[in-house]
Chains A and B, each alone.
Chain A
Amino acid sequence: MATTATPAGGSRNGTGPEWGGFEENIQGGGSAVIDMENMDDTSGSSFEDMGELHQRLREEEVDADAAAAEEEDGEFLGMKGFKGQLSRQVADQMWQAGKRQASRAFSLYANIDILRPYFDVEPAQVRSRLLESMIPIKMVNFPQKIAGELYGPLMLVFTLVAILLHGMKTSDTIIREGTLMGTAIGTCFGYWLGVSSFIYFLAYLCNAQITMLQMLALLGYGLFGHCIVLLVTYNIHLHALFYLFWLLVGGLSTLRMVAVLVSRTVGPTQRLLLCGTLAALHMLFLLYLHFAYHKVVEGILDTLEGPNIPPMQRVPRDIPAVLPDARPPARVLNTTVKAVEVILQSH
């Protein structure tokens, strides 16, 4: 497996390293043909295989050398040395066999080359896809193209995790029976994977033409709007601003996803079901992320306006009875400047 120097069917630089040839195979884009090539071409695709070959050669040298050395010792020590040599050789052989089996299993199951075609992107492509995710396209008569890549969505989910962590810290959220980081990662990845699977299942019911990978990519890029909104509103605590951004930015990215799904679904009932569910989940998630980790400003309200204004409730994560007061009092708009001052002072 590791002895082939040329990847099957691939073009090769004459002077480049062996694994360079593999990259030229995948320059064509993420089509099914490339997938098949990658499936077959496990040798030379990572230099771990070369490394394993070198390792084995070296070990055989070492073994031959050690065996030769042991023979001399064995002769010197007589019968006892011979038995020791035998047991050592058996142990060596068992170790070799076990190691070879383990590395074969490792290269079979941990072969990350399966994911390689989904990461074949250029920075310019990622940038253009990020911008396109905010622009809904009107034409719904024939299926719109979805780029099936995982780099952009994965990076957006991690960015959302980082922004969420920032928001949780500034709002002094207390998490019991859990950790801040664990909650942030669980929320973001759970949303991305869970809602993608659910919408994929609904798409299967509604006979929509979309694959799981495309759904993951679509929803992942839809999180770009969430990242922008949360980045701005976790730092500027203006409720009107948040609602504006929620409608505008969140709405744009939802509309884009909805337009793509509508173009891939036939029938008004199916379209309504699929797109309604996705729109509801996407917008509600943004609402949840904002209000669950919102900075408490009740101290300011009490000192400035008097105690008869209902304060906004911070939501500790383990108390189910308290719901966030989602309708902010109108007078909070006058106190936001002072809120910013207090926030600065409290650091």
Chain B
Amino acid sequence: MAEAAESPGDPRTTSPRPLFAGLSEISISQDIPVEGEITIPMRSRIREFDSSTLNESVQNTIMRDLKAVGKKFMHVLYPRKSNTLLRDWDLWGPLVLCVTLALMLQRGSADNENDGGPQFAEVFVIIWFGAVTITLNSKLLGGNISFFQSLCVLGYCILPLTVALLVCRLVLLAKPGPINFIVRLFVVIVMFAWSIVASTAFLADSQPPNRKALAIYPVFLFYFVISWMILTFAP
């Protein structure tokens, strides 16, 4: 079958194929176990997965994953109420963003190492433990979202702040001064608001309706800390 060997979709998820398009409606979040594997129990597809993903070229695998990540980036940049981030979760995007952020925020080791800037490990740990804490909090408040889905959403919604960091670095190449600071402050505030709106669009539906504010407040604190690290960064 043509779709077995050359499917552009992610084998773990319900990639939209014309033949099985209706089945993508079946695997909604209730069926997702804690590990996040989303497979449709269809016997004939199991053997096809084994052969199709092992025997295909590396380029195919990488391009497929990159396309999935890119699609999610688009969803974050233009947040609509959709299930894509939740349904087809993956942690590649959050990892890439987190590593980028941590690499750009660290000070060079040639400088005085005691100058108080965050090191790579600090940023990395803050992001991941912050995301884990927020997930635990939202689960304890009664939200019906899986652990890794929540990590996925929070990680992807760091994208606007990464863009803000890139812009800040470019702005810092210019002459320093109060105008410099005001521009950076404005950019970081806008991106901070964008991150919160994006994550709210995805996470709010999984909470009980009267407790949305309780679940969103730690997200606000989390992105505030990251925004503060970006704003006070000076190479």
Contact = CB atoms under 8 A, between A and B. Distances in A.
B25 interface: no
A50 B29 CA distance: 12
B16 interface: no
A182 B124 CA distance: 13
Contact of A61 (B35, B43, B116, B218): B43
Given A61-B43, A158-B221, A347-B178, A48 B214 contact: no
Given A54-B31, A122-B210, A345-B178, A151 B116 contact: no
Nearest to A106: B34
Contacts of B232: 169
Given A112-B140, A115-B140, A169 B228 contact: yes
* Interface size band for A: 35 or more
Contacts of B142: 23, 116, 120
A65 B208 contact: no
A55 B35 contact: yes
Contacts, number: 103
Given A61-B43, A115-B140, A179-B122, 12 more contacts: A17-B144, A57-B41, A116-B140, A116-B142, A151-B137, A165-B228, A168-B116, A169-B232, A176-B114, A179-B118, A180-B116, A344-B178
B32 A180 contact: no
B138 to A, nearest CB: 10
Contacts of A169: 228, 232
Nearest to B184: A347
Given A115-B140, A169-B232, A51 B31 contact: yes
B34 A172 contact: no
A51 B41 contact: no
Nearest to B234: A347
Interface in B167-199: 178, 181
B70 interface: no
A162 B47 CA distance: 51
B57 interface: no
Contacts of A47: 30, 144, 146
Interface string B119-154: 100100010000001001101111010100000000
A174 B140 contact: no
A149 to B, nearest CB: 11
A180 B41 CA distance: 49
Contact of B46 (A62, A174, A176): A62
Contact of B119 (A50, A119, A162, A179): A179
A59 B27 CA distance: 17
Contacts of B26: none
A175 B122 contact: no
A162 B225 contact: yes
Interface of A: 17, 19, 23, 46-48, 50-52, 54-55, 57-58, 61-62, 65-66, 69, 112, 115-116, 118-123, 126, 151, 154-155, 158-159, 162, 165-166, 168-169, 172-176, 179-182, 344-345, 347
A266 B225 CA distance: 44
Given A173-B116, A182-B122, A155 B217 contact: yes
Contacts of B41: 57-58, 61
A117 to B, nearest CB: 9
A176 B116 CA distance: 8
B144 A19 contact: yes
11 contacts: A23-B208, A46-B139, A47-B144, A61-B41, A61-B43, A66-B46, A112-B139, A120-B142, A122-B211, A155-B221, A347-B178
Contacts of A120: 142
Contact of A155 (B31, B218, B228): B218
A278 B144 CA distance: 40
B39 A58 contact: yes
Contact of A180 (B46, B118, B136, B211): B118
A165 B228 CA distance: 9
B166 interface: no
- Top 9 nearest A-B pairs by Cβ distance? A51-B33, A48-B34, A119-B140, A347-B181, A179-B122, A169-B232, A55-B33, A123-B213, A176-B114
Contacts of B224: 162
B179 to A, nearest CB: 11
Contact of A123 (B31, B139, B211): B211
A128 B20 CA distance: 52
B111 interface: no
B37 interface: yes
Contacts of A172: 116
Contacts of B228: 162, 165-166, 169
B41 to A, nearest CB: 5
Contact of A55 (B37, B43, B116): B37
